Structure 1
Amino acid sequence: GLSLVIKTVQPSDFQTFTCVLKQMNAVISKTTIRLSRVTVNVKPGALLVKGGTLSLTCDAERTANFKIHWLNPQGDRVATGGAFTKTEVTKQDAGVWTCVLTHDGRESRATVSVTVLDLSPAPPYPLFASTSSLDLTVPCSIPDHLSWENFKAKGLQRGKWSFVPSQASNLISGNPEELGSFSFGDSPTWKAVRDRYYVPDSKNSLSLTMKRPKETDRGEYVCTLEFGGGVTLKSSVHVEVLQMQYPAGAQTVAGQPFNLSCSLGHDLGPDLRVKWIPPSRSALGPLSSGQHLSVSKAGYGEYEKWKCELWRNGTRLTSDEIRLKIVKPPVSVWLLVTICGAIVIFILFLILVLILRRRNRQVLVMLPKPKGFYRS
């Protein structure tokens, strides 16, 4: 063919090329093509923090003869003209942006790759734990395709975890509490405010682990990265803690009724239900699926293990359990009064009998002998 192929375009190749077709030294046709330089610029740079502003420009030689439009990383046409600005960028704006130039029915494209720094998405649902759980991990990380060097290049200064208690946590204050902070050297270094919270060493993870969740741990956990200029990235996770409420001292009387409840500190939503698991040797029939359970009679063993499970649409979220101590029925106070009263009456009766017997003996001794003759 008569096509000219330039494998590696150099700056000197941006010029006019002429294709001349001759026959017997006679010019049959002559075609002139100009290779124009197209430059795509991105400001403030190809590396952006979520929430920032993306500015793109597409400059081409002899732009008056070109029509320009833009394609976003999803391939959608979003704007026309040589300049385009996008505010409040998100992870959807990361990828390859394309400047499309059209001239005389021909289309040319120039691209630029944009990276948006953000934390990995938080779970769409709350995290569930119980007061029986050993620990709970609240996720926070950066995507695998990013590195901490990318974040430090944009002025990353520090990170932290903070906690905002919910009304169900039984805490008076609703103010954020800082649980610990990160410094960034070669890798993140965690410094906890309290020993209950720690962050396992991991390449891209800032996930927070708390030991032995309690009902006061209900609330919002916020993972924050702070950059220069007041720029921040945040990921928020809501935590629910299931707690079983039971008789005082975790004990009840054999043969007596008692009540149990399984609660998140607020009413369950329509998609949540509680499933009760009775002791393995219990003869109870099917139990209710509500938060509250009334048991008509405690067993006569030494202990009973009761368990409640929290379910959503066929998925068990968490569970809590209690080892309930069974004590022997105490002796009734009225029974004691009756027994003591009977004993007192019996003693009084004995005393009365003894007194009467003594009086009868004294009467017999004092009676005079009748007059008459007696055999000597």
Structure 2
Amino acid sequence: MQLECFIFGVITFLITGAQCEEFEVLAHAGSQAVLPCKCSYSFPITPVIIWSNAKKGTVWRKQKSGLQFWGSSWLQKGIQRAQCPHFKFEKGDYSLQINNVQEEDGGIYTCRVEHGVLVTETVVTLRIIKVSFVPSVAIRGEDVSIRCDVTPKPNGATVQWMLNYSPFVPQNAVSSTSISSQSVMFQTARVKLAGIWTCVFSYKGKEERVSANLTVKGIIQPSEDNAKVYAAVGSAVTLPCVYSPGLNPANPTWEKLKPEYIFKPVPDRLPASFSASSPSSQQPWDKSASLKEVGFEDAGRYRCSGTIKGQRLSQNMQLVTAKINSTIPSKKKGSVTLTCQLSDTSEVTDYEWVHVVYDYNGTKSIGSIQKGKTLSISKESEENRGEWTCRFYGKEGILGNVTHHIQLMGGLSGQKSSGVSRNTAAIVSLSFLLLVLLLVLAQMYKNHQRRKRIFQYPALETIVHTISNEREERERNRVKK
């Protein structure tokens, strides 16, 4: 091409004084491309300007009279995609601007400037770079091809890939760095592959970066297989299983896997407190499960599954349970040793004990903080009352915590003695009242029996009343004297 242009330039220059130049322009699909066409000299009046494409013919033409013509293929929704800024004509700049360039716009363009016998030609090769995915939206687990297409194809160009603005080195993938094969890379769709893919295209000392966003749908929480979920014994926990918004999996299931079958998982019995629906589940794509009360034996691997577009998707997670063991050393009866125990400590790097105290108003305050998996404290010391929380940490921060309550021995003894005293006083009072009641009942019974015997003899009753009346009269007379 360069040789042909050189020969054509020499011949036309000798005959008409024409000149020929060549340029390469790189642009990504959807952007604006500027094709250069500049003359080193200016004309008193606007010359004839003709922009043409090797395949589509005339792109834009301006006559001496000022009339302009556009090719029909460059009209998009009533707007011309190709134009030349008139305010630059006085400077000898006749560059062509193409808006929203497409793959089919790639090719060879010619700018011809005619001013009498003076003719200047500029040849521009426009290459369109586009990043695409097949399929455009990938389902997790299926194969996806990542393409960096360049139209027209160059020779000697190289391509490098970046994912989320960091260099990407494919693992267990078929890829190509030669643009001659359109730089196709095959990957198995994973959540980690979702994001902004950038094709770094290098050609003849120039570099162009083109990006596109890849969406991977499937189970997005947890984002990694065998992710760990930490829970304290006795608490409630949610096992996440969230699909991409808009996905409604068919036949969702939950399973607990036996620990001895690692390579070929075998279902185990689910815990008694297991519920296949989480209280937080409000959307059809949220299939999280919950355990209302975690037991230490509930630790292990769990798997959620569902069918999307005929493909069975599954995600494994591991429930790690935590508890605090309390032991009393044989040599120190007044002390207690607390041990933070986890069903899996593979991710734990550090332990921390935090003392939490509540006053009579319920105000919370943080006391001492100590390091280590075990903690030895005195149960008889008032300073150690309240809650002791064991926090366990990993490389990226806190993983979880579990709490143990400490009650004072002295406080318990005092409460017991006080309770016994109150019970004794209540028993004595009740016994006294019962005794008085028995005496009253006995006296009432005696009076009843005496009256019963007297009423059996009416004459005797009359005599008794007469004697009683006479006695009362004598008493009154004595008082008068």
Q: 2:124 aligns with which of 30, 33, 40?
A: 33
Structure possessing the higher relative contact order (Cα contacts under 8 Å, 6 or more residues apart): 1
2:389 paired with 1:317: no
Q: How does 1:95-114 map to 2 (within 5 A)?
A: 95-99=195-199, 101-107=201-207, 111-114=211-214
CA 1:229–1:8: 2 relative to 1, 3 Å: closer
Letter of the aligned partner of 2:183 in structure 1?
Answer: A
| 3-state SS in 2 of match to 1:63 | coil
Q: 1:87 aligns with which of 187, 190, 196?
A: 187
Question: Which stretches in structure 1 are left out of the alignment for 5+ residues?
Answer: 168-173, 181-191, 248-255, 300-304, 329-376
Cα displacement (A) at 1:319: 0.7
Alignment-derived partner of residue 230 in structure 2: 127
Q: 2:250 aligns with which of 146, 152, 157?
A: 157
CA 1:257–1:47: 2 relative to 1, 3 Å: same
Alignment-derived partner of residue 30 in structure 2: none
Letter of the aligned partner of 2:296 in structure 1?
Answer: E
Cα displacement (A) at 1:31: 0.9
Residues 10-46 of structure 1: CA deviation (Å, up to 9, x unaligned): 677455422123444311x211224456565533x02
Residues 273-325 of structure 1: CA deviation (Å, up to 9, x unaligned): 567889999xxxx9x977586978899xxxxx875432336977121348898
Alignment-derived partner of residue 272 in structure 1: 351
Q: Distance in 2 between matches of 1:228 and 1:11?
A: 31
Contact 2:106 2:151 in 1 (8 A): no
2:332 paired with 1:242: no
TM-score by length of 1: 0.54
| Greater per-residue helix proportion | 2
Cα displacement (A) at 1:53: 2.9
Q: How does 1:1-376 map to 2 (within 5 A)?
A: 1-9=93-101, 13-14=105-106, 16-27=108-119, 29-36=120-127, 40-43=131-134, 45-65=135-155, 67-75=157-165, 76=167, 79-81=176-178, 82-99=182-199, 101-107=201-207, 111-117=211-217, 118-120=219-221, 121=223, 126-131=229-234, 133=235, 135-142=236-243, 146-149=244-247, 156-164=249-257, 176-177=267-268, 179=270, 198-203=278-283, 205-227=286-308, 231-244=312-325, 264=341, 271-272=350-351, 307-312=387-392, 317-321=401-405
Contact 1:46 1:113 in 2 (8 A): no
Larger radius of gyration: 2
Cα displacement (A) at 1:4: 0.6
Contact 2:147 2:183 in 1 (8 A): yes
Contact 2:273 2:291 in 1 (8 A): no
CA 1:24–1:95: 2 relative to 1, 3 Å: same
| 3-state SS in 2 of match to 1:80 | coil
Contact 2:229 2:239 in 1 (8 A): no
Cα displacement (A) at 1:55: 1.9
Alignment-derived partner of residue 183 in structure 1: none
Q: Distance in 2 between matches of 1:147 and 1:261?
A: 45
| 3-state SS in 1 of match to 2:297 | helix
Alignment-derived partner of residue 335 in structure 1: none
Contact 1:198 1:208 in 2 (8 A): yes
Residues 130-173 of structure 1: CA deviation (Å, up to 9, x unaligned): 33x3x22333434xxx4234xx6xxx434333334779xxxxxx
CA 1:14–1:139: 2 relative to 1, 3 Å: closer
Contact 1:221 1:239 in 2 (8 A): no
Letter of the aligned partner of 2:402 in structure 1?
Answer: T
Letter of the aligned partner of 1:214 in structure 2?
Answer: G
Q: Distance in 1 between matches of 2:344 and 2:216?
A: 40
CA 1:72–1:275: 2 relative to 1, 3 Å: closer
Q: Distance in 1 between matches of 2:392 and 2:267?
A: 29
| 3-state SS in 2 of match to 1:148 | coil
Contact 1:71 1:77 in 2 (8 A): yes
Letter of the aligned partner of 1:319 in structure 2?
Answer: T
CA 1:275–1:166: 2 relative to 1, 3 Å: farther
| 3-state SS in 1 of match to 2:96 | coil
CA 1:239–1:206: 2 relative to 1, 3 Å: farther
CA 1:266–1:202: 2 relative to 1, 3 Å: closer
Q: Distance in 2 between matches of 1:267 and 1:103?
A: 53
Contact 1:310 1:318 in 2 (8 A): yes
Q: Distance in 2 between matches of 1:266 and 1:147?
A: 33
Alignment-derived partner of residue 338 in structure 1: none
Cα displacement (A) at 1:68: 4.1
CA 1:195–1:312: 2 relative to 1, 3 Å: closer
RMSD over aligned CA atoms reads 5.0
Cα displacement (A) at 1:257: 7.1
